[in-house]
Chain A
Amino acid sequence: MTIFASLPVENKEPVNAVRDLLARLLDTELVSAVLVAVETQNGRSVQPSLIRDTASLSRANPFLPVMPISAARMATFITRRFDARGNGASAPRIAVVMRPCELRATVELAKLQQIAYEQLLTIGIDCVGTFEVSDMQTEDAHVYLEKVLEAANHGEVDSPNGLPYRHACSICTNPVAWQPDIAVHTIGVDNQQEILLEVNEESLVEKLELQAGADATAHQTAVQRLIAVRQERRDTALDTMSEKLQMRDDGTPGLLVEFEDCQRCHNCTVACPMCYCKTCLFRTNTFEHEPQYYMDVAERKGAMRLPGDTLTFHLTRLAHMSLSCIGCGLCTSACPADLPVDTLFQTVARQTQSIFDYVPGRNLDELLPIATFETDEFQDLGERVAT
């Protein structure tokens, strides 16, 4: 049952209204802790932090338009580890304040048994876009805070002040979280005066003393309009990348041409919330070959680019996690060569996800496609009757 409620904003400080809401969650003991973005002292960024004392909420700021790291990864640290029976229910409840892409990653990680989802009270923040943290080194992120909230109010597609959003944000079609326990809406809402809450758990309305019955029409209209424009841009961006990835006339894979300047530093893997494997093949010495191997390859092919195995690296990552790629774009932000890693992944993921009609982060009950199968599918592949 979805209930819309208006959260009043005083002194044009919407972030204070959210801090107050989080304090109420802690005071009423609905949750034992809150995971939320907290401003760094230099004012340029935020870091996800686990807060148990309401006084420590004073620097919490989930609206600051930067996302240096996915809080989904943090949720893997703070929820109970699964035992053999997949049991995690008796652990304390923790509120997590997340952007839509972080929540989608959280759902995927829960499917992979990295997060005990039932422990979480999910709070989804509307997000029209975030900036690169590196762009904030010369600017105080607060300068952008108010402008981005205003852009959200008007449902604007582009960044309000010339500095572009991160590329993944500029083609993101999910500015609103899917079915969190509480959604904090700022899009299409006069967020200097009020915030629109969407509560999916009836008992929360009473316990948090919210006033049910707010009008969500303007918000929904603004979101639909924003999504429509972003969808067009997304299609264009992914179609363009798909074109570039095609095999060249001489047979060279487009992936090699577009990613030839990859140094295989693995930063994208470290930044990716879906790359959770503790025993990642690329963190082992599997691809540190014997010296003779390099000599042999160079002899066979005439030369060998070092460190090598870059195509193998990207294709393996695509095979391992493109189905769960939620399009947060942190891989691109982490790339020292500014390669369009997220565009590559989202382009391939568009195809791989559509084969299995799979949308990562949509529903906790949807099984990961490679964790299941149908007995009578893809029969054109492999099945030849003996003659």
Chain B
Amino acid sequence: MSNNNNSYEPRIIAFLCNWCSYTGADLAGTSRMKYPPNVYIVRMMCSGAVDPVYVIKAMVEGADAVLIAGCHPGDCHYQEGNYKARRRMVLLKTILEQTGFDPNRVWLRWISASEGKLFADTINEMTEAIRARGASPLQQEWRV
């Protein structure tokens, strides 16, 4: 493990909504914007479809961070999925914080289909922030 090492490459699991954030990520790619290859993308139909258990399993198994991204409030393809996602993530971050996990390794962001640059910036920002935090203490934890 390479804790607190500037060369450490974190693994970030990203759950992106199909309609906004995944398309935003696609735009970043087709626009040839550069962002670090540390993100592993899972396409969801809606940020509201991200069951907390997906985030929990990723965190418990040692992912360095999890990103949930969806349409901006008011813009959800299914009207209100992102509002529900926000409540769930508030709930989940509270539970993680209460049980001894680092809640700052779970990020929620709103990224629209036209915000390719925001997606690239978010991944840059997140990779730097998580690199500074170091590897997840659960990465080599086999008693989970």
Contact = CB atoms under 8 A, between A and B. Distances in A.
Contacts of A228: none
Contacts of B57: 312
A312 B141 contact: no
- Shortest 6 CB-CB contacts between residues of A and residues of B: A251-B137, A253-B100, A254-B100, A255-B99, A319-B52, A373-B83
A256 interface: yes
B142 A348 contact: no
Nearest to A354: B94
Nearest to B72: A383
B87 A373 contact: yes
B83 A375 contact: yes
B53 A319 contact: yes
Interface stretch (A70-78, A97-105, A152-160, A242-250): A242-250
Contacts of B60: 309, 311-312, 315
Interface string B81-105: 0011011111111111111111000
A245 B86 contact: no
Interface of A: 242, 245-248, 250-257, 260, 281, 297-298, 301-305, 308-312, 314-316, 318-320, 322-323, 344, 347-348, 351-352, 355-356, 369-370, 373-375, 377-378, 381-384, 386-387
A359 B108 CA distance: 27
Given A255-B99, A256-B100, A384-B109, A370 B56 contact: no
Interface stretch (B10-18, B33-41, B113-121): B113-121
Contact of A315 (B72, B95, B122, B137): B95
A178 B138 CA distance: 43
Interface string B31-63: 000000000000000000000110011001110
Given A312-B57, A312-B60, A347 B98 contact: yes
B97 to A, nearest CB: 8
Contacts of A256: 100, 141, 143-144
Given A319-B56, A373-B84, A386 B141 contact: no
A319 B144 contact: no
B80 interface: yes
* Residue with the greatest number of chain B CB neighbours at <10 A, chosen from A281, A305, A318, A352: A318
B5 interface: no
Contact of B115 (A247, A319, A386): A386
Given A303-B142, A312-B57, A323 B95 contact: no
Contacts of B2: none
